[in-house]
Structure 1
Amino acid sequence: MPTYRYACAECGAFDAIRPMRESGSGASCPICAGPSRRVFGAPALRALPAGLRSALDAQHRSADAPRVATSVPGRAGRTQRRATDPRQLRLPRP
């Protein structure tokens, strides 16, 4: 079940674990049993996997100042493999 944050006017904020169907209704304060309203906050993004979090951060950074390519990327990382079968030598190359 999800955790929701509520705020009591006298005691302050507290968290309550409730079913989603009950998220819209108010909750009673666990200290004074008074009525409280639901408080909306930022999502817990730290719970995301590290790869997804870094991709979201990169997307946010590139919204205002995207990186611009200044040259054509090289062919780094590609190694030329020699064919071991003589019949492969006659095949067309890209």
Structure 2
Amino acid sequence: MPSYSFRCTEGCEFDAMYAMSEVPRKTHCRRCNATAIRLVTAPHLSAAGGSAYQLLEHTSRSAHEPHTVDRLPARGSAARQPVSSNPLHAKLPRP
């Protein structure tokens, strides 16, 4: 259920939750019981818990604490690239 912001004639601001089909333009203030009108505000969107949030968290952390490399990777068997069985991939230019 979305949260809507209201401001009364006395200057109090508060948030209230209503169903989108039932949100009123005016309501009574919870503090002073004056008439309060609904404000136009930006939606409160969040990607918390999603992969987008994790990417933003990682990039903001790496901006001031970059990952550094102190040695070359170990020589060993290189990871093999997967081979595609799509015949159209055979037509692509090779490096």
- Normalised by the length of structure 1, the TM-score is 0.48
